[in-house]
Amino acid sequence: MDFIITFLNGLSLGGVYALIALGYTMVYGIAKMLNFAHGDIIMVGGYVLFVFVGLTGEPILAIILAAFLCMLIGISMEKAAYKPLRGASPLAVLITAIGVSYFLQSLAQIIFGAAPKFVVIADLGTITLGSLVIPVYSIVTLVVSILIMIGLSLFIKFTKTGRAMIAVSEDKAAAQIMGINVNNIITVTFLIGSFLAAIASVFYLLKAPNISPTFGSKPGIKAFTAAVIGGIGSIPGAMLGGFLLGIVEVFSNSVPQIAPYTDAIEFLILIIILLVRPTGILGKKRREKV
Amino acid sequence: MALLEVKDISVYYGVIQALKGISFEVEEGEIVALIGANGAGKTTTMQAIMGLIHPKTGSIYYNGERIDNIPTHKIVKMGMSEVPEGRHVFQELTVYENLMMGAYTVKNKEKIKEDVQEIFKLFPRLEERRNQIAGTLSGGEQQMLAISRALMSHPKLLLLDEPSMGLSPLLVNEVFDIVKHIHQEGTTILIVEQNAEKALQIADKAYVLETGNIILKGTGKELRDNDDVKKAYLGG
Ligand SMILES: Nc1ncnc2c1ncn2[C@@H]1O[C@H](COP(=O)(O)OP(=O)(O)OP(=O)(O)O)[C@@H](O)[C@H]1O
Ligand SMILES: [Mg+2]
């Protein structure tokens, strides 16, 4: 019985990792950069929730505002910090991203202080099915993240903008020749990634209602690991990597003897997968036909 | 006023100068060929016209408007389109989805549908492979797809960068027939070719590019009869 609950919790954490990993992987695929500040968007979402749940007591309104403000910050960061570096060396972009990450964390610390803030969005409680006591947030998280992923997949496959995203990620110059404005597509990508990060912040706070300036670091690193495991640049890869990592993490944490080593186990999995498949599980090698 | 005017452009890759101040014109309704050896700067010229790279000096005018400093997607909207060297079809998308990408700037959905039917009439082999992933097409099929995709935006000026590269002789003929057909339908064409023989046959006007300079120009016939051209590009 414990197994079922653990499995459900693993899937649910995996869904959250997948949402965040999608942000990393889509930005990587389309803008060809690692946005190390992506995790900090989750933190921004957390503080927006803290402020607006506190002010209004309306969780739904606060969630909408969090999504909106995260998207705003996401595209501002792209326009201000990354866009001027289009065409610069990858190292310069990477260092800038780390700088943006510190900037957001420091800003949060100046505004809200270093001590954690407490914010209860909602207490969803548990439901009992026979002998199973299931935390409702796990179910909500899993269901909502799966729905969002389905929606995102449909968007990418069937809309003009979605297909343009595939085109840009595959071949930027060819996409431009089609008349695609690559800057617009990059903006859309940051919007989507930031939206997903905002949703992730809701799920995190449903589970543990504390928020601090470094709130986004750990989920950011974990989700980035998930994206690399799945194959960075691959959308199904980010989903697979997310679920895989979530399940491993929750199962590992459920055994007291190995729980302290959970992070090490996860990164070990990363290393092993990269040794066996350097492009990640679903990452593809470039095919070129001349 | 020529449809396309390239005026004294030079392009650098770092310190390497790939184009050393070249000028040429394409009049509306013409087929203009650009020939030259490997590394002469043909692709660089095409990319500069498409706005994928920006010349350091000189200017490019299309329809009287200066375009050398505007982004590619705007140039495409002005009625230019390219079949790039090496095809560059979207490998992960199907044949049909590739055509849709070609129609990215077209708003009218009905028109797009009609255009796809037109394309399939011109290339029945693509219709049979409508839902095949482009990366699994043969090289020749990919070239047909790249040409079709470029036509979907109804370009006024079509740039073709080595459309016959890597094709069997029979297919080369087919590609040149298609180029002639597209031209007859009213599209102006700028073509880059290693196959100088074929290109000069269909060209109204041609330029010979050598290490970043235009060293010769003339009508297709003049250049075919030119001894230097014969020696260097037509195999004696
Ligand atoms: N991205 C680049 N970086 C550095 N040098 C480049 C780049 N692209 C082209 N060059 C150089 O510029 C010169 C012209 O190249 P270009 O591709 O325009 O030649 P080309 O005439 O199209 O040749 P080919 O017939 O082989 O396609 C070459 O010397 C090439 O090495
Ligand atoms: Mg070339």
| Longest Cα–Cα distance in chain A | 62
Q: What is the pLDDT of residue A286?
A: 52
Q: State whether residue A283 is helix, strand or coil.
A: coil
CA distance B192 to B178: 15
Do A166 and B93 lie within an 8 Å CB cutoff? yes
Digit-coded pLDDT (tens) for B66-81 = 999 999 999 999 999 9
- N- to C-terminal Cα distance for chain B? 37
Which of B13, B160, B210, when mutated, tests ligand 1's pocket best, judged by the most ligand atoms within 8 Å of its CB?
B13
Q: What is the pLDDT of residue A288?
A: 41
Q: What does the DSSP 8-state code read for residue A120?
A: -
pTM for the structure as a whole = 0.92
Write b or e for each residue in B193-209: b if 16 or more Cβ atoms lie within 10 A of its Cβ, otherwise e. Answer: bbbbebbbebbbbbbbb
Chain B residue closest in CA terms to A170 = B90
Q: What is the pLDDT of residue A58?
A: 93
Contacts of B181 (CB under 8 A, 6+ apart): B122
Q: State whether residue B62 is helix, strand or coil.
A: strand
Q: Which residues of B touch A (CB under 8 A)?
A: 50-52, 71-73, 76-77, 81-82, 84, 86-93, 97, 100-102, 104-105, 135, 139, 142, 149-150, 153, 165-166
Per-residue pLDDT for A290 more than 80?
A: no
Over residues B210-231, the mean pLDDT reads: 89
Chain B residue closest in CA terms to A289 = B139
Interface test with B, best of A176, A177, A282, A285 (most B CBs within 10 A): A177
Interface test with A, best of B90, B112, B141, B142 (most A CBs within 10 A): B90
Digit-coded pLDDT (tens) for A181-202 = 999 999 999 999 999 999 999 9
Distance from CA of A153 to the nearest CA of B (A): 15
Strand positions, DSSP E, chain A: 117-118, 126-129, 132-135, 210-211
Q: What is the pLDDT of residue A130?
A: 85
Digit-coded pLDDT (tens) for A217-269 = 999 999 999 999 999 999 999 999 999 999 999 999 999 999 999 999 999 99
Q: What is the pLDDT of residue A285?
A: 64
Task: Give the containing element (helix H, strand E) for B210.
Answer: strand B205-210
Query: Do residues A244 and A217 lie in contact, with contact meaning Cβ atoms separated by under 8 Å?
Result: no
Question: In terms of pLDDT, which residue wins out, A147 or A289?
Answer: A147
Digit-coded pLDDT (tens) for A125-176 = 899 988 888 999 999 999 999 999 999 999 999 999 999 999 999 999 999 9
Q: Which residues pair with B190 in a beta bridge?
A: B32, B159
Closest CA to B151 of B199, B125, B114: B114
Task: Give the containing element (helix H, strand E) for B190.
Answer: strand B188-193
Per-residue pLDDT for B235 more than 60?
A: yes
Instruction: Give the CATH superfamily of B4-233.
Output: P-loop containing nucleotide triphosphate hydrolases (3.40.50.300)
Q: What does the DSSP 8-state code read for residue A260?
A: G
Lowest mean pLDDT among A103-112, A129-138, A249-258, B22-31: A129-138
Model confidence band, residue B229 (pLDDT cutoffs 50, 70, 90): confident
Task: Give the percent of chain A with pLDDT over 90.
Answer: 90
The minimum-distance atom of ligand 1 relative to the CA of B194 is: 25
ipTM computed for the complex: 0.93
- The tokens 């998930």 sit on which residue? A226
CA distance A19 to A238: 8
Mean residue pLDDT across chain A = 94
Query: Do residues A120 and A62 lie in contact, with contact meaning Cβ atoms separated by under 8 Å?
Result: no
CA distance A223 to A205: 17
Is ligand 1 within 6 A of the CB of residue B18? yes
Query: Do residues B38 and B89 lie in contact, with contact meaning Cβ atoms separated by under 8 Å?
Result: no
- The tokens 């394309």 sit on which residue? B119
- The tokens 């002639």 sit on which residue? B180
Closest CA to A236 of A138, A141, A139, A156: A156
Phi then psi dihedrals of residue A8, to 5 deg? -60, -45
The CATH number of domain A2-276, selected from 3.30.160, 1.10.3470, 1.10.287, 3.10.310: 1.10.3470
Domain ranges in chain B are 4-233
∠ CA(A10), CA(A139), CA(A151), 5° rounding? 95
Contacts of A30 (CB under 8 A, 6+ apart): A165, A168, A169, A185, A186, A189
Residues of A in contact with B89 (CB under 8 A): 174
Cα(B38) to ligand 2 centroid in Å equals 7
Per-residue pLDDT for B236 more than 70?
A: no
**One-letter amino acid of B206:** A
Query: Do residues B36 and B209 lie in contact, with contact meaning Cβ atoms separated by under 8 Å?
Result: yes
Is ligand 1 within 6 A of the CB of residue B53? no
Digit-coded pLDDT (tens) for B121-153 = 999 999 999 999 999 999 999 999 999 999 999
Closest CA to B163 of B199, B116, B212, B136: B199
